[in-house]
Amino acid sequence: AHAVSSEQLLFLEAWRAVDRAYVDKSFNGQSWFRVRETFLKKESFESRSQTYDAIRKLVASLDDPFTRFLEPSRLSELRRGTQKSSVTGVGLEVTFTEGSGLAGSLLKVVTPAEGGPADRAGVRPGDVILAVDDKPTMGISLYEASDLLQGGAPHSVSRVRRAPGPPFLLPLTPLVHITRLSELVVIRPVSYALCSGVKPAVGLKGESGGPEGAGDVRVGYVRVSTFNSNTLEGVTSALKDAQAAGADGLILDLRNNGGGLFPAGVQVAKLLMSGGDIVLISDSAGVRDIYTADGTSSLDTRTPLSVWVNKGTASASEVLAGALKDSGRGVVVGENTFGKGLIQTVVELSDGSGLAITVAKYQTPAGLDINRVGITPDIRLPPDQLASGGSAVCEQLAGPAAPRVFG
């Protein structure tokens, strides 16, 4: 028998972490024990870099873009990221297109950061990134993409293609060019505006009787761009302002919200729901956890609520939209959401590196599996029929062509 080296022990630690936690117990149709033995026999473990390469190959065999290896610096960066209020780069959140395995996939835009270089250039959810700095994106990892899209010299260029159909039918449309400046993209998770003089066509009747006369319809517009450590405080403040102003309705705008901290999305749901299930968590053995609202954190459970979504609404924001829809608390307006319903946990390894492992799936209170399906709106409106930004939304709601956005 041969002694197991310290490098092999680290590899085995990573293998066990996946074995215990991964949601798919078929491990992408592989015998996970046989995979372990094959790697130990065929891979080199003479250095830490070789061990890291073996672990990367191990998780790549799962063909899951969200289960990934994190070097120590990546793990530290991931933990800091949930606290960030700004980032330097073009301002894009990306995932993979569906192709023949990860090696045959391209990068797809989940959402552009509001006001960032990509947003200003017209990049939209669903666009496909063909190349960054003339480097093709097919087969690269999300971390490599992050390095390319963030920071860097002002002369580099990202090339993006609008994707109206299957991503591999090239070329379909001209490329969009984004000059990637070293620009600080500020992350403002919540913004608020009070809209007065809202037309009855939106589906509300005025009860506030504001300064513009009895029956003046007011709507509190709450835009949530991401879920981070500051989101709950921002939404709480916005809801209190809307209550103080006597708003007749609320709009919760989750368009182009790619998710973020799952607990923050649950906390926002608790502000708006008097009770009931928020989300079901299911793994390979079925439903294993249920998050519920018990009314103790409620702030506004009665004001009519319109929840705006689009293709860039993903993950934690889909959980929130699904909870508000299934509970009957709000009417969902817009287009089908992105469909990212997988949950990852981060496991730290003994040397300071780690693994992000897909451990479960989200289901709405009605039992809908969000992943690759998304949330279907109650009122379907194309993107060009809903304004963006507080002042533009208020102007639209008070204008002659105000859309119906309340039930």
Catalytic residue, candidates 105, 315, 317, 327: 315
So what's the pLDDT on residue 102? 44
So what's the pLDDT on residue 122? 79
So what's the pLDDT on residue 84? 53
- Residues of the chain with pLDDT > 70: what percent? 81
Angstrom distance (rounded) from CA 364 to CA 312: 18
Mean pLDDT, all residues of the chain:
84
Average pLDDT over residues 319-341: 96
- Residues of the chain with pLDDT > 90: what percent? 56
Q: Is 344 helix (H, G, I), strand (E, B) or coil?
A: strand
So what's the pLDDT on residue 107? 77
Higher pLDDT, 112 or 346: 346
Catalytic residue, candidates 108, 270, 325, 340: 340
So what's the pLDDT on residue 97? 64
pLDDT tens, position by position, 262-315: 999 999 999 999 999 999 998 878 888 999 999 999 999 999 999 999 988 999
Q: In the CATH hierarchy, which fold is given to the domain comprising 6-64?
A: Transcription Regulator spoIIAA (3.30.750)
The pTM assigned to this predicted structure is 0.74
So what's the pLDDT on residue 3? 67
Average pLDDT over residues 339-366: 92
So what's the pLDDT on residue 388? 83
Please report which confidence band the pLDDT of residue 211 belongs to, taking 50, 70 and 90 as the band edges: very low
pLDDT tens, position by position, 10-44: 999 999 999 999 999 999 999 999 999 999 999 99
Lowest mean pLDDT among 55-59, 110-114, 283-287, 316-320: 110-114
Q: What are the distances in angstroms from CA 141 to CA 54, 136, 137, 174, 192?
A: 15, 12, 8, 25, 36
Q: Is 205 a catalytic residue?
A: no
Angstrom distance (rounded) from CA 82 to CA 94: 16
pLDDT tens, position by position, 98-136: 544 444 567 777 677 777 777 887 787 777 777 777 777
Q: In the CATH hierarchy, which fold is given to the domain comprising 86-186?
A: Pdz3 Domain (2.30.42)
Note the Cα 249 to chain centre separation in Å: 26
Q: Which amino acid, 407?
A: G
Average pLDDT over residues 190-206: 92
User: Does 50 score more than 80 pLDDT?
Assistant: yes
Q: In the CATH hierarchy, which fold is given to the domain comprising 190-207+216-343+355-398?
A: 2-enoyl-CoA Hydratase; Chain A, domain 1 (3.90.226)
So what's the pLDDT on residue 171? 43
Contacts of 125 (CB under 8 A, 6+ apart): 109, 110, 111, 112, 256, 310, 311, 312, 338
User: Does 328 score more than 90 pLDDT?
Assistant: yes
Angstrom distance (rounded) from CA 93 to CA 343: 17
| DSSP type of residue 375 | P
Residues in the chain: 407
Average pLDDT over residues 313-342: 95
So what's the pLDDT on residue 212? 41
pLDDT tens, position by position, 128-178: 777 777 777 777 766 677 777 766 544 344 555 554 444 444 444 445 566
- What are the two backbone dihedrals, phi and then psi, of residue 102, each rounded to the nearest 5 degrees? -60, -35
Comparing CA positions, the residue from 383, 263, 392 lying closest to residue 333 is 383
Domain boundaries, the chain: 6-64, 86-186, 190-207+216-343+355-398
So what's the pLDDT on residue 311? 86
Angstrom distance (rounded) from CA 209 to CA 207: 6
Q: Is 340 a catalytic residue?
A: yes
Comparing CA positions, the residue from 391, 341, 335, 348 lying closest to residue 363 is 341
Higher pLDDT, 62 or 284: 62
User: Does 375 score more than 60 pLDDT?
Assistant: yes
So what's the pLDDT on residue 207? 61
pLDDT tens, position by position, 173-196: 445 566 655 566 667 789 999 999
